[in-house]
Chains A and B, each alone.
Chain A
C-alpha cells in the first residue's frame, strides 16, 4: 500500500532518546535477571542510544547495521546466558535495528493520515502496545505450559538442561503416561462419552425452548426464560450441591445418565441465548409462507427455520460442549469415581501429585480446542460464501 503521508528523516534528538528508553527497559529486565536492575537500566540506555547514533549518523547504511545490531546483541546474550541468551539477544537486536531505522526514516508516519497531531500519532502506537500487552497477558500462561509438558523431570520446572536446549532435558514420557495410564484413559473415555451426550441434550432442548420462548403467545415468557437461564447465574457450587441431594434420592447420583443430565442443564442456557439471538433476525413470515405452501410445522422447522438459525445452534452447541468438557464442580458431586472426567482427574492430580502429565493433557486439549474452533470457523465461512452472504 502506498504511503498516505510523505515521510522524511528525523533529527537525532528525536529517535536516539526513544531507542535509549526502550534500551533502558530491556536493560532493566536483563539487569534484574543478572542481579542489578539499576545498572542494567543505565547500560541498556547508553549502549542502545549509542548504537542507534552510530548506525544512522556514522555508518548510514540500513541493512549492514541491522545485522550488526542482531549479531552484537546475540553475542552479548551468549556471554550472559548461553544458548537461550543467544536467541533472546538476537531477537532483541533484530527489534532494535528495526526500531532505529523505523524511527529515523520516519516510516512510522507513513500509513497514518497526514493531518494527525504528534499526540494522536503517539496514542495510535501506545494503543497498539497496550493491546499487544493484553494479548501477551492472556496467552502466556497457556503457552508456558507447552514446553513444560516436554519436561524430562516430574516437576513443573524449567530445568537447566531444558534452558540449554539439550535433548536430555526433553522427553515425551508425560505424553506416554497419559496414553498408557489407566486412570487417564478412563477419564478421557468418560469425558468423550459424557460431553457429546450432554451437548446433544442441551442443543435439542435449548433450541426448542428458544423457539417456543420467542413466539409471542407464550405466557410468562420472561419468567420461564429466567428459570431456564438460572444455571448460568446461580453459583455452580449451589447447583452442584442441590443436584447432589436431588439425584441421590432418585438414584441418579453416580451414574453416567445423571452426569449427562446435569451437564445438559448447565449447557441449555448457552444454547437458549445464542439461538434466541439468531431468532431476532429471523423473519417469521417465512414460516407462514411455508405453511401456506402446505408444509407441516416439522417440515417447516427442518427445511426453513433450522438452516437459517443453524449458526446460532452450532455456536450454542459448542459452548455447551466446552461447558461439559471443562466442568469439574458438578461432576465431583453428581459423579462417582466411575464417571471421573478429564477435568476431575486434572484437579485431583494438581492437588495430590503435581505431575507434568497434567500439562501434557492440557497441551493436547488446547491443540484440540484450537483445531475444533478453526474447523467450525472455516465451515461457517464456507457456508456463508456458498449462500452468498459475504463477498469473500
Chain B
C-alpha cells in the first residue's frame, strides 16, 4: 500500500499550502483580462511592460473579455474574484455597473489629469458613458472590401453592401442586430438622424429586416472579430464588416488586396473596469495600474501598435508612427477627419432598452 499514503500525504500538504501560495501571488502578480490577439499585444507593449518595469508587478494576461460579464457574475456568486482589471466594451461596462459588479471611479481624483492640467473628466468628455467605465480607445465597426473582386468601380457607400447587382458575391455581417439594422435603414432611405426613432417602432424593425432580407442569401454571418479578415483573405467574401483595427492589420501588416470603406462606420468605445469584491490591497493596485495605463502618453503609445483612436482628447496630437511598420498612424484612425466624414455613434441607451426585443426578432428572422 505505497500509493495511497503517498497520495494522502500530497493532499494533506497541498491544502494548507494553498492560502500561503495565494497570498504570495497577490503581492507580485495581477491578472488583466482583455481580448487577445493584436489588441492584447498592443496593451502589453504600451501599458503592461512599462508598468511592470516601474513597479515589479508581474502581469498575467487572460484573453477572456468575450465572456467577461458571465464570468464576473459567476466569480461574484462564488465569492472568488480572480481578475484585477478587465477590458470590456462600453455596453458591457454599463451592464456590469448596473449590477454592482464593477467599481465606481471618480475620474478627477482617480485618473491622471492631462499634461496641461485639464482634469480627466474633461479630457475624456462625453466618452465617460458610465461611472464604472474608464475609456481607453475609440474603435469602429466598418467594412473592408477585396479590391480585386469589386470590378472597376470601388464602392464608396455602405449601401454597396445591399447592392448585389453591382457587387455580386458573398458579404460577411456580424451575427447580431446591432449595426446591421442601422445600416439597413440608412440604405432603405431613412435619414441618419431618424434611424433610432424609426427603429423604436415595430414597422421600423420590420423595414430593417426586410432590407436585410434582400441580401440574406449572400451573407456569411460572423461572430468573432477574426472571421471577416480570414474570409477576405480567402476571397470567400467581396466585402465584410469587422473592427477597423483588424482591417488595418489585413491591409498594412498582411498586405492583402483589401481596402477600407469608412462610410457609415459605427463608433464604439472600449475601456477598463475594476471588478468589485477585491481585497483592499488588490483594489489599490488595480487603481494604481489604471491611473498609469490611461494617462495621456500611454493612450497615445497604444496607437503605435494598433489603429484604434485614443479616448483622451489630449492624446490625439501625440499619436505617431507604427512601431514596426513606421507608417503614420493618424490617417488610419477611425477618428481621422478623412475617415470620419460620415459616422455613426453606437446608441447605448437605445440598445440597452431594445436589445432583448430586437435580438429575439433578429434571431427568429435568421432562423426563417
Q: List chain A positions with a Cβ less than 8 A from chain B.
A: 153-157, 183, 201, 204, 208, 241, 244-245, 248-249, 251-255, 257, 298, 336-338, 340, 348-354
Name B60's contact: one of A156, A252, A337, A349 (CB within 8 Å): A337
Question: A297 CB to closest chain B CB, in angstroms?
Answer: 8
B230 touches A352 (CB 8 A): no
Q: Is the C-beta of B338 less than 8 angstroms from some C-beta in chain A? A: no
B22 touches A251 (CB 8 A): yes
Query: For B367, what are the chain A residues with a Cβ–Cβ distance below 8 Å?
Result: none
B36 touches A154 (CB 8 A): no
Which of chain B's residues has its CB closest to A201's CB?
Answer: B7
Docked Cα-Cα span, A340 to B62, in Å, equals 9
Docked Cα-Cα span, A251 to B226, in Å, equals 36
A353 touches B3 (CB 8 A): no
Query: For B80, what are the chain A residues with a Cβ–Cβ distance below 8 Å?
Result: 248-249, 253-254
B1 touches A298 (CB 8 A): yes
Name A155's contact: one of B31, B64, B230 (CB within 8 Å): B230
A153 touches B18 (CB 8 A): no
Which of chain A's residues has its CB closest to B61's CB?
Answer: A337
Which of chain A's residues has its CB closest to B22's CB?
Answer: A251
A257 touches B14 (CB 8 A): yes
Q: Is the C-beta of B257 less than 8 angstroms from some C-beta in chain A? A: no
Residue count of chain B within 8 Å CB distance of chain A? 40
Q: Is the C-beta of B66 less than 8 angstroms from some C-beta in chain A? A: yes
B79 touches A354 (CB 8 A): no
Q: Is the C-beta of B78 less than 8 angstroms from some C-beta in chain A? A: yes
Docked Cα-Cα span, A355 to B227, in Å, equals 11
B22 touches A352 (CB 8 A): no
In the assembled complex, 22 residue pairs joining A and B whose CB atoms fall closer than 8 Å, in A order, are A153-B254, A155-B254, A156-B230, A157-B233, A201-B7, A244-B74, A249-B78, A249-B80, A251-B19, A251-B22, A257-B14, A257-B18, A336-B82, A338-B31, A351-B224, A351-B226, A352-B224, A353-B36, A353-B37, A354-B224, A354-B229, A354-B230
Query: For B78, what are the chain A residues with a Cβ–Cβ distance below 8 Å?
Result: 244-245, 248-249, 253
A337 touches B224 (CB 8 A): no
Query: For B36, what are the chain A residues with a Cβ–Cβ distance below 8 Å?
Result: 348-349, 351-353
B234 touches A157 (CB 8 A): yes
Query: For B254, what are the chain A residues with a Cβ–Cβ distance below 8 Å?
Result: 153-155
A352 touches B35 (CB 8 A): yes
Docked Cα-Cα span, A117 to B3, in Å, equals 62
Question: A260 CB to closest chain B CB, in angstroms?
Answer: 10
Name B77's contact: one of A183, A245, A257 (CB within 8 Å): A245
Known: A253-B78, A337-B60. A353 touches B14 (CB 8 A): no
Docked Cα-Cα span, A119 to B208, in Å, equals 59
A204 touches B3 (CB 8 A): yes
Q: Is the C-beta of B27 less than 8 angstroms from some C-beta in chain A? A: no
Which of chain A's residues has its CB closest to B13's CB?
Answer: A257
Query: For B37, what are the chain A residues with a Cβ–Cβ distance below 8 Å?
Result: 352-353
Question: B232 CB to closest chain A CB, in angstroms?
Answer: 9
A354 touches B227 (CB 8 A): yes
Which of chain A's residues has its CB closest to B227's CB?
Answer: A354
Q: Is the C-beta of B169 less than 8 angstroms from some C-beta in chain A? A: no
Known: A204-B7, A255-B21, A298-B1. A155 touches B229 (CB 8 A): yes
CB-contacts of B74-126 with A (<8 A):
74-75, 77-80, 82
Query: For A352, what are the chain B residues with a Cβ–Cβ distance below 8 Å?
Result: 35-37, 63, 66, 224-226
Given A245-B77, A253-B78, 4 more pairs with CB closer than 8 A: A156-B230, A248-B78, A348-B63, A352-B225
Question: A173 CB to closest chain B CB, in angstroms?
Answer: 13
Name B18's contact: one of A154, A252, A353 (CB within 8 Å): A252
Sort A-B residue pairs by CB-CB distance and give the 7 closest, nearest first: A353-B37, A337-B62, A352-B36, A248-B78, A248-B80, A155-B233, A354-B226
B61 touches A249 (CB 8 A): no
Q: Which of B29, B33, B36, B63 has the most CB of A within 10 A?
A: B63
B234 touches A155 (CB 8 A): yes
Question: B295 CB to closest chain A CB, in angstroms?
Answer: 25
Query: For A337, what are the chain B residues with a Cβ–Cβ distance below 8 Å?
Result: 31, 33, 60-64
Query: For B215, what are the chain A residues with a Cβ–Cβ distance below 8 Å?
Result: none
Query: For B64, what are the chain A residues with a Cβ–Cβ distance below 8 Å?
Result: 337, 348
Q: Is the C-beta of B191 less than 8 angstroms from some C-beta in chain A? A: no
Which of chain B's residues has its CB closest to A340's CB?
Answer: B62
Query: For A249, what are the chain B residues with a Cβ–Cβ distance below 8 Å?
Result: 78-80
Contact code string B45-74 (vs A, CB < 8 Å = 1, else 0): 000000000000000111110100000001
